[in-house]
Amino acid sequence: MTTRRAACSCGQLNAVTEGDPVRISMCHCLACQRRTGSPFGAQARFPSDRVSINGTSTQFVRTTDSGDHITFHFCPACGSTVFYQPDQEPDLIAIPVGAFADPSFPAPTVSVYEARRHPWTGLPPDVEHFD
């Protein structure tokens, strides 16, 4: 089984995952742009019981457009978000793809909030599109 490790910039907060993610998506929404400092967010969701978290994190709860809540866990020392959990899906943990620092990580299969997409960004060829 594939073991992967995601970590913050300074390394004190990390998440170790077992097996492959159940969903990999890219999100072009403005909230993801602000959170990541990047034109889009890319994240992989894993079953919670396949993720072990090490280190200390600070939480930020964001209310989504649909009124749900997502709790983001980030490193109090360097600020990187290492994992987050939508209240609606307590059995899943989402991890920003960049936190794995692994260019061989599988590509997203879903692209959401394309209405907010920076037009110069590219998309994987077989991705499923959502506005």
Residues forming contacts to Zn ion in the complex (CB under 5 A) are: 8, 10, 27, 29, 32, 75, 77-78
Nearer to Zn ion, 32 or 94 (CB): 32
* Residue closer to Zn ion (CB basis): 49 or 65: 65
Report in angstroms how near the CB of residue 93 gets to Zn ion at its nearest.
Answer: 16
CB-wise, 19 or 62, nearer to Zn ion?
A: 62
Q: Which residues does residue 23 pair with via DSSP β-bridges, in sequence order?
A: 45
Where do the DSSP E strands lie in the chain? 3-7, 14-18, 23-27, 41-47, 51-54, 58-63, 69-74, 81-86, 92-96, 110-112, 128-129
- Alpha helices by DSSP H, 1-131: 30-36
